[in-house]
Amino acid sequence: MQIQKSYKEPNGKGSLFLVGTPIGNMEDMTFRALKILAQVDAIAAEDTRVTGQLLKHFGIEQRLISFHEHNAQARIPELLDLLEEGKDIAQVSDAGLPSISDPGQDLVQAALAQDIKVVPLPGASAGITGLIASGLPAQPHIFYGFLPRKASQQRKFLETKRLYPETQIFYESPYRIEATLEQILEVYGNRKVVLVRELSKIYEEFRRGKIKDLLSSLESDPIKGECLLILEGYIEEDQPQLDLQSVLPQLRERVAAGQRLKTASQELAKVTGFKAKELYKAYHEEVEQGEE
């Protein structure tokens, strides 16, 4: 059991401050965040150039330490040494809250293991900011971050989430957005979706509609910039959109990859709503038809 009193009972060690930064508009920086960045002994930054521009904008001169996914494991011991010496460190990402889609979580866990205080500062979050204006239910919701890049891994991931009733939030690259939406359409059906980009900037944009509508929109009017996808959760009415013929290709893929038919049928039954026996029987019937 670990109890942290963030501002009382000093233990002679420094504190690790997790500081949110603007997701676009510089004016979204909080007074408290600026105060902490000016007071700490060093700032661990995902990209020192990006954070350097932020500090310059607000007239702050501070020591920057590069801390990103490629050097995190080497940097963490160095940062822990500074914290053990009583130095305060702020960790920031390029935009939004740290520890989301950056190695901050590893640093937090390592700091907590050494009884170092970890103090979060409220700040901007693209996922929540987009969600509250999406028009889709804000509660309950699930945030997943970036989807797997490989199509096969992405599909497998989506299959496990298809029956979730919560509104789902994803990050995606503009270069993969259409392929991702086509994959979601195949697995989820034609649900409501909101695409958000350039949050808090002059080109802020929301595209709301069904997945097919959004795909048509992207065909005629492509987008730039990082995207936020907010998807409607599963509702009972979605089920009729699936039929055995749309599920059988998934079953064939699993069997072709070496999975036993019985196991593949059972796993697909959990995410499609069909009975394992139905899938098993349909597979054999298809095979028999192909042999005739």
Percent of the chain topping pLDDT 90: 67
Do 220 and 135 lie in a common domain? yes
Contact 40, 89 (CB under 8 A): yes
Torsion from C-alpha of 57, 44, 143, 140, nearest 10 degrees: -80
pLDDT value at residue 290:
63
Do 26 and 92 lie in a common domain? yes
pLDDT value at residue 280:
84
Do 209 and 155 lie in a common domain? yes
Do 206 and 166 lie in a common domain? yes
pLDDT value at residue 291:
60
pLDDT value at residue 242:
59
Q: Which residues of the chain have pLDDT under 70?
A: 236-243, 290-292
Residue ending a domain, among 124, 156, 174, is: 124
Tokens 């890049």 locate to: 149
Do 252 and 269 lie in a common domain? yes
Do 147 and 224 lie in a common domain? yes
User: pLDDT tens-digit profile of 236-249?
Assistant: 654 445 567 778 88
Domain annotation covers residue 275? yes
pLDDT value at residue 276:
82
Look over the chain and give the mean of its residue pLDDT values, rounded to a whole number. Answer: 90
How many structural domains does the chain have? 3
* CB neighbour class for 114 (10 Å; exposed up to 12, middle 13-18, buried from 19): exposed
pLDDT value at residue 240:
42
Residue ending a domain, among 92, 124, 156, is: 124
Q: Phi/psi zone of residue 246: left (φ > 0), alpha (ψ -120 to 50 degrees), beta?
A: alpha
pLDDT value at residue 268:
81
Do 112 and 26 lie in a common domain? yes
pLDDT value at residue 52:
96
Percent of the chain topping pLDDT 70: 96
pLDDT value at residue 252:
86
Domain annotation covers residue 6? no
Do 95 and 135 lie in a common domain? no
Cα 278 to Cα 132, 274, 291, distances in angstroms:
40, 7, 20
Q: Domain of 153: which CATH number?
A: 3.30.950.10
Do 19 and 120 lie in a common domain? yes
Residue ending a domain, among 124, 145, 175, is: 124
Range of the domain at 250: 242-285
What is 138-173 written as a DSSP string? -SSEEEEEEPPSSHHHHHHHHHHHTT--SEEEEEE-
SS3 of residue 89 by DSSP: strand
pTM assigned to the model:
0.76
Domain annotation covers residue 290? no
